[in-house]
Structure 1
Amino acid sequence: MLIRTRILLLVLTLFTFALGGGLAALMVIDDLQLAVEESQKSRQDLISIGKIRDLLLITTGEIDNLQSWKTTDRDRFRQQIDSCQHAILSLVDPEGNTSKDEQDAIEDLDRSVKNFERAVIHSLRYLEEGIQGRGQERTRNWLKDRLVPDFTAAVVQLEQLQQTRIGELELRARSAAEQVTYLLSILGSMMLLLCGSCFLLLQRWIISPLESLSTAAQQISNGQYGQKIPIPAGDEIGDLAREVEAMSSEIDSYQQRMIERERLAAVGEMTASVAHNLRNPLGSIRALAQGSLRSGDQEQISPSLRTIMETVDRADRWLKDLLQGLKPIQLDRKPLEDLSLHLDRIAAAVKGFSSKLEVELKLEISPSLPQLDLDLRRLEQVVLVLLNNAVEASSPGDTVILGASADQDEIHIEVRDEGSGMTEEIQSKLFTPYFTTKKGGLGLGLSLTQRIIHGHGGRIDVVSSPGQGTTMSIRIPLTRTAEDE
């Protein structure tokens, strides 16, 4: 499955979960809000019932002074009755959510108020008709026997109903609040779990493969070609890994072809050099042999034969060097624990030569270099070549430094001198077989050195500039790769 498809499914899962959790939370919060609003209305209704009761009690207390009422008193009475009726109407839920018991109690209270209003109006009419005692007595008795008990019972019932409703709504609100808390806890835990799962999946799908690609790129930059990248195919990064592997194989193949071409070109140059170097010794051998044949003096023949042998030996050495430069490097790698000690011994072997040229040889070798597999004889050959070149490039009084250290992945060996340095043109040809700036040299030392280090899976670098000296740096990995084995 492609990575973009996986990420799309992951995003859809997160979105679905967030949407479902959000809708559930909104439903619970809406229920909580509704319970709070209904509770507030019930409290307001309870306050309104108290006001109705207070107004009725105040009004009934004024009935004894009914004969002294003036127009303003009558207007105030009507306003109080209107206030009671408006308050009673406010108790009715316009959406029809009022319970039957509550509706019956409201109707009883409304009926009591209307009866009270009619009783007072009749009493006032009796007063106007001159039936003062009869009207007051009748109204007083009716209030005492019927009205007060009726509206008191209705008010008490409404208060009880509202208090019961408030209790139920508070319980409902607490339950909704607990549900919100529980739901948010569940959502938070699930989001943490999903985020952790997303991180692990992204780590597996993207980060780890990219780290493997980065490691492979570093290996390729270090000259370790043909490595297999442990990323399965089937997605974009897997396809990229296969492309990188193919590129690495192509680079390795191309490099091998280039090395072979350089070797063939070097053989051509070397052949001309050998032909030139052998022509003169062979001519000398022929001349000495002819002279010896013409001369019968034994004392003259012996020096000639000795010269012939020396000339033949010199030509033989040239041919051996030629063959050495053409043969592939064969390494005998074995575990080595005391690399520091061997580097000290190599430096000691060069000190006589450096002292003769008045060049100081200093060591900066870490005493605790880790164990690694290498061909000790070949490594000694490499270090000797670098040290001898550094000493020969130095002037009397200069210093040559041999350093060695290690990190988690590699061994570092450096040879630094204070000589005249090299131009970029010379550096570009430095490891070419048979290229040399020394008089009488064959130019095979550094070429063999590079091949030996590459055979160990490492690399050799040069940093130099005219008048600034030269640093030759060797890096050898601590672990052997499949290509090295």
Structure 2
Amino acid sequence: MKLFSRFRRSIQGSLLLHELSFLIIILVTASVGIVWAFAWQKSSEESLRLTSMNNHMQNIRGELYRQLKEVFDANFLADTDAPEEYEQYTDRITGFIQDLKQEAEQQNEFQAVIDIELAYQRFHDETHTLLRVMQPSEQQKELLNLQLEKYTFKKLEDAFSQFESLLNKKQQALTHDRQKWMSQLFILVPIPILLALTLLLLSRRFVNNNVIKPLARVMQGARRISKGELNHEIKGGGVDELIRLSDAINMMASEIIVNRDRLIEAKKQAALGELVPLVAHNIRNPLASIRAAAQVTLDENPEPEIQEALKDIIIAVDRLERWVTSLLTYLHPISAHFTQKPLTEVADNTLAMMDLQLKDKSIYIERKGWELQPTQVLIDINLMEQAIFNLIQNAIEASPISSKLRLEYKESSDQIELSIRDQGKGMNFDPLDENAVGRDDTKRLSFGLGIPFTLKVVKQHQGELFYYANGVHGTCVIIRLPKIT
């Protein structure tokens, strides 16, 4: 069944099966014809044999009467030629009896011929003796008539009647068999026709369901994909060749989507590559002057209020400097330098740098999983700090005043996980989804380069970045890294 199913599911195998089916129809038709012809031939031969045996019997009977006439001619008419003619009839009758023996095929037929032969032998013995009596008396003539008529000749007629009855029964059985074969012929002849019609209907159904309809779906899907509907998926079906063709077209469409997204990202990178260095150069020089002036003023002015304001200026300038550095770093390949460090310690270092921002919005930090004695893993500390910094920075900006920011650390046998959850309004789409670009008025890069940069760093660590956001529970971002020690 598996082999039949495998052949049926391919065009080549289906054609082979249909060719074999037509060959079977031809063989069935030929077999019916050969069997019927053979049976008809056997019936004809048997009919000829029975007719021949009946003719031999009739010849024996006719020659017997002629031979008996010669006996009467010799005894009553004194015919001198009668003995010679009598012997000629004897030879003919003996020859016919031998022919009957040769044509007899069954035991009952052979026995019937033997009965005829024995009866004739008795007749021959009695009549041959009478031929030797030259002048029979009246008493002998009367006994001759009585003996031949009542006994000897009656035995011959009985034997002839039995043989004739046997031949009639066989002829009737043969006629019955012919009628039976003729009736069966009317039944057997439609079988090849029905097989051919059934095969035609099955072939039409197979071609329609497994070739024509699936091929139409493939052509329609190919036209839709060619018009730009790259997300359209052609449903597989039909023979194996069409299934493979559908899968190939679907895979091609998926690769086109990926390449298109890569091209869009490359265009963005190229545009940023031209813009950001110029902006960074024009921002860094004023920032350096502002920070230097603030630092000098801070050193010279002892008033606490002025010092606090100057410190805020310095922190803001440093933050802008880091963003500019992130911009430039994002536009160039990242070269990681790994060292063993717990991910919780990297998160603590990042939170320490953002202490003033957290205090400004009265955001409470909740840590969970820090008590698990986290495993030290291979991490580029600087890159990972920047990545976590970007995520926490987005969470702070999204969080309302006096809210809670929850950091949770989890660990399994083969990976570690750090999640950051805020209590903001949440985003209306996944910022990591390439197709989110242009879905509404908000674009992916409007969130800044923090998310793309973080994704780039996480991938550099062979990890994954996930976003879960809604308007009820805020936004949760998860960094998942393999446990490579």
Q: TM-score over 0.5 for the alignment?
A: no
**Shorter-chain TM-score: which interval?**
0.3 to 0.5
Which one scores higher on RCO, CA 8 angstroms, separation ≥ 6? 1
Structure possessing the higher radius of gyration over alpha carbons:
2
